[in-house]
Structure 1
Amino acid sequence: MAQRDVVFPAGRQALYERNRYSPAVRSNGLLFVSGQVGSREDGSPEPDLEKQVRRAFDNLNAILAAAGCTFDDVIDATVFIVDAESTFERIWKVVPEYWGKAPHPTLTAVGVTWLYGFGFEIKVIAKLPEAADS
């Protein structure tokens, strides 16, 4: 197997090593980003849901930036929401702060019962800058 081309955001590598996964992997002109939650620097959940969503996007944006991307390069997003029926509107009022203008990426939203103490998680696939013309 070829060596994975892993992208680490500044200052959080220890969290990924401790939990044994890569924050993002470059492959074939795409960036595959692991699910990002609203964790504080020590990995603990941000207790306030709206702040947690903002932290999740901030964590995501740090990974995108480390790969030379922005959210504008995102082509596909998957979000996981605990108790989506009661929390979706609170979460979705924060999303436009980060989502940008249309056209938006494709989206899959999944309601779940547990996210390791978090209420929201987002994972994305982005086009890498060097692949932008393909």
Structure 2
Amino acid sequence: MSDRQPIIPKGMEAVYEKIHYASAVKVGDTIYVSGQIGRDEHMQLVEPREAQIVQAFENLKKVLAAAGAEMTDIVDLTSFHTDMRDLPLFMEVKDRYLTRDYPAWTAIGAAQLCGVPGYIIEIKAVAVLRR
């Protein structure tokens, strides 16, 4: 029997049903969070730039909460940026959400995210529940 459990937070069901991927998958005490972008519960792009980054972190936080985790449970964070000049702004927002127990972090430049113009950030994470 597999202990693999898809995590589908309320308001994110369309991603699972229409795009066919889980917002996260929980295996044991480990949570693998799919890339979270700056779209709202109506799947609409959030603007301006800082608001989009905040929304991506809020989405990440929502997925973790649905799995029974918190931001401090993140052990690995990967961010994808369409413009690396946004890195200082991203770091400023990141520091509002990750205030201690800092995870490993990799920032990657990308030409486009989600195949849709306008998205500037995508954040994926791995979290481990504390015992």
> TM (normalized to structure 2)?
0.89
Partner secondary structure for residue 93 of structure 1 = helix
8 Å CA contact 2:3, 2:27 repeated in 1: no
Q: Report the Cα offset of residue 112 of structure 1.
A: 0.8
Is 1:47 aligned with 2:43? no
In structure 1, the partner of 2:38 is 38
8 Å CA contact 1:49, 1:91 repeated in 2: no
Question: In 2, distance between residues paired with 1:90 and 1:5?
Answer: 34
Aligned length: 128
Which of residues 104, 107, 111 is equivalent to 2:105? Answer: 107
In structure 2, the partner of 1:28 is 28
Q: Report the Cα offset of residue 2 of structure 1.
A: 4.6
Q: CA RMSD in A?
A: 1.6
Q: Which moved more, 1:109-118 or 1:63-72?
A: 109-118
Q: Report the Cα offset of residue 89 of structure 1.
A: 1.4
Q: Report the Cα offset of residue 75 of structure 1.
A: 0.5
Partner secondary structure for residue 94 of structure 1 = helix
Aligned counterparts, 1:85-100, within 5 A? 86-100=85-99
Aligned counterparts, 1:9-88, within 5 A? 9-84=9-84, 86-88=85-87
Question: In 2, distance between residues paired with 1:126 and 1:90?
Answer: 23
**Closer, same or farther: CA 28–3 of 1 in aligned 2, 3 Å:** closer
The gaps in structure 2 that reach 5 residues or longer are none
Q: Report the Cα offset of residue 90 of structure 1.
A: 2.0
Question: In 2, distance between residues paired with 1:94 and 1:15?
Answer: 25
Question: In 1, distance between residues paired with 2:127 and 2:104?
Answer: 11
Partner secondary structure for residue 10 of structure 1 = coil
In structure 2, the partner of 1:122 is 123
Aligned partner letter, 1:92? M
Question: In 2, distance between residues paired with 1:35 and 1:7?
Answer: 13
Question: In 1, distance between residues paired with 2:49 and 2:16?
Answer: 23
> TM (normalized to structure 1)?
0.88
Q: Report the Cα offset of residue 26 of structure 1.
A: 0.9
